[in-house]
Chains A and B, each alone.
Chain A
Amino acid sequence: MEKLIDQIKQGKVWPFPGGIHPPGQKQQSTTQAIARLPLPDKLVVSLKQHIGANGKLIVEKGQQVLKGQALTKPSGNWSVPVHAPTSGLISDICPMPSAHPSALPELSVIIEPDGEDNWCELNPVTDAKALSHDELVDVIHQSGIAGMGGAGFPTYVKADTRKAIEFLIVNAVECEPYITADDMLMREHADGIVAGIELMQQLLSPQLTIIGIEDNKPDAIAAMKQAAQHNDSIIVQTVPTIYPSGGEKQLIKLLTGKEVPSGSIPADIGMLVQNVGTLFAVNQAVYEGKPLIERVVTVTGNTIHKQGNVWALLGTEIKHLLDCQGFSPAPQQRVVMGGPMMGFTLPTVRIGVVKTTNCILAPDHQELAEPGDEKACIRCSACADACPASLLPQQLQWFAKSKEYDKLNEHNLFDCIECGACAYVCPSEIPLVQYYRVAKAEIKEQQAEQIKAERAKERFEARKERLEREQEERQNRHKRKPAAKSDDEKQKVADALARVKAKSDDTDSKSAVAAAIARAKAKKQGAELEPDNSEVAKERAARKEQARKYKEQKALEQGEESVDKDDKKSAVAAAIARAKAKKAAQATESQAEAEEAAPVDDKKAAVAAAIARAKAKKAAQAAESQTVAEADSAPVDDKKAAVAAAIARAKAKKAAQAAENQTEAKEDSAPVDDKKAAVAAAIARAKAKKAAQAAENQTEAEEDSAPVDDKKAAVAAAIARAKAKKAAQAAENQTEAEEDSAPVDDKKAAVAAAIARAKAKKAAKEQAQSDESSEQLDDSSDTDDSKPQVDEPESSEDKKKAAVARAIARAKAKKLQQEGNDKS
């Protein structure tokens, strides 16, 4: 290290391979001092003038702004603000062609100068040493400074690097022909630049700062040496004039003999490169408080009358620059932003100057000949000799033409800096750089697609696995079913049960129970009558949906206990529950004791609520009531849930009415939180049942709720279950259902459901002794985990939801039972 510093101090440079010597063409723009231009008629300030995200717009159309006032504020992701270059009126904010090879429109603030050029309040710092690292970085950030050498990398990011910096390298090479903006800036503002360097030194504490200047700028070298005289840690290094020695990587090699490893950044090897223009802007920002609103632009080329450098406000249209300097366009005029080697032609002169605009070149056809026709490559390798990165451009070109992307990678295409040296020397005039750009873009696209495909594959495989797993589960389930009873038999049994119960229940609330049971069964039937395929299909669909929600659900599932994440949904659910609760309360004057079977997550809650409601409705219907249905609390989201809820509510009401009990519905007691909601729901259901009973109708299970799609299916299933439970309860169930209450997860829910169902059955049995005991529902399974076949088919849809619904239903059933007990 010491040796290296000594070598550097002795003026040693390490030439990089390749490079070319295009005509400099610099002298014509260095005869005059940097000029000030009259204010343009309008300024088109693009929000994006750097690498990174746009800042957040903080002004609006029609607003008056002051010079230096921020138009955007940074909002992460390397965003850098832009500022009003002069005072005036914001006449519009709209997308305008950008200073980019594509000229794609970028959102721009259009300012009509008022001619006053009034500064906003500036906060210059007198003693920068007093500023902390972060404060200084913040000043640089808020001043909107981005690399002014051409790349536009946010300077605050570099200044805030966490890596140890050994060498701060100041890029004053300006190797592109024609451009003299940095040269003139150094001649006129060397002190400011050195002050900027010292600020950077303060931030980065490098061991040595090397200013690299090409030997074709003797005036600038002298000025910089003079300005840096007082600082021993700054060295002005004269480097030979060769293009592209101003390339960041080439300059590092040239000044320190080190190479930036491929794929790394200079900071990884302790280097940091800053352009002189950037450093001057840093100085302005700190010591004068002025944000970056103007820069030096070289306006040159043989079609320009007054070739030279100007201070251009950012956003000044190129047209204004050309007009001010005098411009006689040639036929097929090219206007290049940047230099002749790496600059890009502009499609229009109505594009604003940006932070990276160092040159506007309007050449005639003598000085820069138009490209000739591409001829065959003769593999002369002049390109390889010129390549500063030691690539094999002609090989790359063959591979690019034949789209051999693997070979391109193998030949390090992405180490190409697109300096254009190869194309410059090519005797066949092959636009090599253009081929590389296209190939790079294609490779990047291909890589992106590959990543996408891989993700898709992963997803597909996960799904396949899941499907297989679920199919297995399903098969297991199917195996168990036949053992209990064939589908047909079950139906019949159910039908019979329902009928019997309905009849016998006339007097009591038994009929309601029966009805509920009947309905439940009917549903099952409905599902079961159909070919099993439909079930499977539903299940599959359900699973798909599940898969989508898999992650979130997983996370949420365990928490159980009334976790209502989404206010809206929970609100809806609550509303529904409340509605039911009222009705229920009316019908039964029982006081339910809040069971905790709270819905697991929002969706589930909503679904559950819906289910509950749906059940209530059915019960009501069964009670032959003709409903009024003024669904009050229409849920906001979850359309289906909402619909279901509405229906439920309507039914509940009807039921209540039908049950000719004169409930006064003390609405106000609407439960506010989930638990209450659940309780209420339970109550509601209980009422519904009673109503149904009162209506002594023998339900024939009108099966209205045939699930159309998965969600509906789920809802329906839930409803069915819920009803069954209610019915059971209503039937003065003596089941005490100790029912550990709140089911924690699906299994428990399932268990609970099973219990509920079992109770319902019992009730039914008791009431209609004639029942076909064959009802395969596991009677005695009050507490155990007998598999609930009842809801299985329907529940296929969304297991979770179903589970939740079941849980709710069960909870309610319990309450009702308790109520019944109390009564009895």
Chain B
Amino acid sequence: MKLTMASSPHNHSHKSLSRLMMTVIAACIPGLIAQVFFFGSAVLIQLVLALITVSACEAAVLQLRKRKVWPTLSDGSAWLTGVLLALSIPPLAPWWIIVIGCMFAIVIVKQLYGGLGFNLFNPAMAAYVLLLVSFPVQMTSWLPVSDLLASPISFSQQLSVIFNGFTSAGFSVDQLRVAIDGTTMATPLDTVKTDVAHHLTVAESMSKPLFNGWFGLGWGWVNLGFLVGGLYLLKANIINWHIPVSFLASLAVCSGIGYIAAPGTEPGVVFHLFSGATMLGAFFIATDPVSASTTNRGRLIYGALIGLLVYLIRTFGGYPDAVAFSVLLLNMAVPLIDYYTKPRTYGHGVK
């Protein structure tokens, strides 16, 4: 009888890479829904564009590298990168923004470093930073929540804006951003930052229609959506608790200290936690296993430092949000962190 030989173990948990990636993508859905609800369905267009671009880029590079295309593409890691990038950019950004971002993320940040598992930086965040630095206008042109828009825009108009730059009626994104009261709307983080710079108190800034008293309209809900998705990932044992918890705790502590020190110019803990990309960053970005720390102690340090950087950049830096920068900076520190946080192996350090 011919028997098959195999190396132990002969059993497997049936966890798979693609299932893992798909679970993470699925966990983005609550946040995505919130975004669609508050900011319009343009984000779905960006999502489709992103998925097409990442698939094409990944396939092309794999072909060039003479790897099997489908087995690698189907692991879903490229799609996850596309999804995260699509969720990060302004929904009405021109189509080439997401295309350039996805190309950069997949071709340069991921595949040129050796493909999945070899990339030093988080591809989505590296692409985000590239776009932010290269196209600051397009990348900061967030619309206010739909309710505040002077003229609500339809899906086809959004499509037109993304591909042509103007709605069928000839409005540009900048014109669309004009709110009911005639002022140009910025993101809550941006608004607070600008107002504080103009010597308004946070309380005064937060009294604007953009806010609901605690945090920016819509943004809070989006963050809440990602929090729910993140908790699901924790529950499903896809991510470890270390990074999100230390990230959020660090941000909360820093903003709390800031608020106590300067209540007039500091928006406080809740605002920081539910503004910008905080929850997306904590559960979906910083936990990217490839570029994050791999030891439990290292993850705590990694998350805490990201939280600290996010707070510092938001408060003292030139950009309104800081998750992408913070994550990239800490990506660079990962090898060092990992090296110094090796767990104690059984039987070592005992007498």
Contacts and interface: CB of A to CB of B under 8 A. Distances in A.
Interface of A: 16-17, 20, 22-23, 177, 249-250, 253, 258-264, 329, 332-336, 338, 340-349, 361, 363, 368-373, 375-382, 384-385, 388-392, 394-395, 411-412, 415, 418, 420, 423-429, 431, 433-434, 437
Given A332-B4, A333-B4, 11 more contacts: A264-B347, A341-B8, A344-B8, A345-B3, A371-B6, A376-B118, A378-B20, A380-B289, A411-B342, A424-B13, A427-B19
A470 B347 CA distance: 53
B17 interface: yes
B186 to A, nearest CB: 37
Contacts of B11: 22-23, 177, 340-341, 368, 424
A543 to B, nearest CB: 50
A348 B3 CA distance: 7
B117 A385 contact: no
A261 to B, nearest CB: 5
B290 A379 contact: yes
Interface in B13-60: 13-17, 19-20
A750 B12 CA distance: 79
A363 B6 CA distance: 13
Contact of A345 (B5, B72, B292): B5
A392 B6 contact: no
Given A262-B347, A411-B342, A342 B115 contact: no
B61 to A, nearest CB: 14
Given A378-B290, A392-B342, A336 B17 contact: no
B20 A376 contact: no
A424 B12 contact: yes
Contacts of A264: 347
A249 to B, nearest CB: 6
Contacts of B1: 329, 333, 348-349
Contacts, number: 165
Contacts of A342: 8-9
Nearest to A23: B11
Contact of B289 (A381, A391, A433): A381
A578 to B, nearest CB: 68
Contact of B345 (A363, A375, A412): A412
A369 B350 CA distance: 39
Nearest to A421: B9
B294 A379 contact: yes
Interface string B48-81: 0000000000000000000000011001010000
B4 A412 contact: no
B183 interface: no
Contacts of A329: 1
- Which of B16, B72, B346 neighbours the largest number of chain A CB atoms within 10 Å of its CB? B346
Interface of B: 1, 3-17, 19-20, 71-72, 75, 77, 115-118, 240, 289-290, 292, 294-296, 338, 342-348, 350-351
B316 to A, nearest CB: 32
Nearest to A341: B9
Nearest to B346: A389
Contact of A384 (B9, B15, B118, B295): B295
B315 to A, nearest CB: 32
Nearest to A349: B1
A431 B9 CA distance: 8
A682 to B, nearest CB: 71
Contacts of B75: 375-376
A765 B344 CA distance: 89
8 contacts: A22-B13, A23-B11, A263-B347, A369-B14, A379-B292, A380-B20, A389-B347, A424-B9
A258 B347 CA distance: 9
- Which of B8, B118, B289, B296 neighbours the largest number of chain A CB atoms within 10 Å of its CB? B8
Nearest to B292: A379
A395 B348 contact: no
Contacts of A263: 347
Nearest to B11: A340
Contacts of A349: 1, 3
B346 A415 contact: yes
Nearest to A361: B10
B348 A415 contact: yes
A interface, by DSSP: helix, strand, loop or mixed? loop
Given A378-B117, A415-B348, A428-B17, A333 B3 contact: yes
Contact of A347 (B3, B9, B345, B351): B3
A433 B9 contact: yes
Given A390-B344, A392-B295, A433-B8, A378 B17 contact: yes
A146 B318 CA distance: 72
A434 B72 CA distance: 23
Nearest to B15: A427
Nearest to A382: B15
A340 B289 contact: no
A378 B289 contact: yes
A342 B11 CA distance: 10
B162 to A, nearest CB: 32
Contact of B294 (A250, A375, A388, A395): A395
B348 A412 contact: yes
Given A415-B348, A433-B7, A392 B13 contact: no
A465 to B, nearest CB: 42
Contacts of A345: 3-6, 10
Contacts of B342: 392, 411
Contacts of B6: 334, 345, 370-371
Nearest to B294: A381
Nearest to A429: B12
Contacts of B19: 427
B345 to A, nearest CB: 4
A599 B172 CA distance: 114
A245 B111 CA distance: 41
Given A261-B351, A392-B343, A423 B117 contact: no
| A-B pairs with lowest CB-CB distance, top 3 | A420-B9, A262-B347, A376-B117
Nearest to A365: B4
Contact of B350 (A259, A373, A418): A259
A249 B348 CA distance: 12
A20 B14 CA distance: 13
A17 B117 CA distance: 26
A445 to B, nearest CB: 19
A333 B10 CA distance: 12
A117 to B, nearest CB: 29
A352 to B, nearest CB: 16
Contacts of A343: 8, 10
B351 A336 contact: no
Contacts of B347: 249, 259-264, 389, 415
Contacts of B13: 20, 22, 424-425
A373 B71 contact: yes
Contacts of B9: 340-342, 420, 423-424, 433
